A = this chain, B = another copy of it.
Amino acid sequence: MTAPTPSDTAAAFERHDHSHCAGAVMQAAEGRARAEGLRLTPVRRRVLEILLEEHRALGAYDILDRLKAEGFGHQPPVAYRALDFLVEHGLAHRIRRLNAFAACMHPDTDHAPAFFICAQCSAVAESAATPLRDAAQAAGLAIGFTIERVTIEAIGTCPACHPGTAPSPQVPS
């Protein structure tokens, strides 16, 4: 059970060895799939891999283009179904502000994530949001509302895109 730390989250905005972190996450995802009897079929696995390779939020049709090119089905439901599966089982997240999807970077943690989206370079970092979820829970309680899930998406500027800081955005998009 590796809980995400602030430095994990910060790492998402820094240059790092994608293939390494992607590999680790993929292994964790496979472990979870085995443990819970999820069927990580070729399409689903490939979609997760694509998300991990890109290491950013991708639209369903971006994914679909890749799938087509690799000989999978070429109609929208192919992508949406795989994405729905991944999201439902916590292996990917939907980023509503972007109408896009990103691989979950902590699939072995039961977490309530928040997302930090850079308006400049559209990099996305996923962060544990337990305090935020608790605050929301409390606010809900005060008005008699029972919360199932909370979407928390912050838009702003990532460290790499701050003027006077690191020069070039990591994900030009």
Residues of chain B within 8 A of A129, CB atoms compared? 135-136, 139
Stretch from A15-23, A59-67, A102-110, A146-154 contacting the other chain: A146-154
Query: Any chain B CB within 8 A of the CB of A3?
Result: no
Q: A3-18: which residues lie under 8 A (CB-CB) from chain B? A: 6, 9-10, 13
> Quick one: which of B9, B10, B145 contacts A125, CB cutoff 8 A?
B145
Instruction: Assess A143 versus B9: contact at CB under 8 Å? Given A150-B153, A150-B154, A154-B149.
Output: yes
Least distance between A130 CB and chain B CB atoms (Å): 9
Q: Do B162 and A139 have beta carbons less than 8 Å apart?
A: no
Residues of chain B within 8 A of A136, CB atoms compared? 114, 129, 132, 152, 154
Q: Please, how many residues of chain A have a CB less than 8 angstroms from a CB on the other chain?
A: 39
Residues of chain B within 8 A of A31, CB atoms compared? none
Q: Do B162 and A143 have beta carbons less than 8 Å apart?
A: no
Name 11 interchain pairs, CB-CB below 8 A, sorted by A: A96-B96, A96-B151, A116-B143, A132-B135, A135-B135, A136-B154, A140-B156, A145-B154, A148-B154, A148-B155, A149-B154
- Beyond A96-B153, A129-B136, 9 additional contacts (C-beta under 8 Å) are A10-B142, A127-B143, A129-B135, A129-B139, A131-B135, A144-B162, A148-B157, A149-B155, A151-B155
Binding site for B on A (CB under 8 A): 6, 9-10, 13, 96-97, 114, 116, 118-119, 125, 127, 129, 131-132, 135-136, 138-140, 142-159, 162
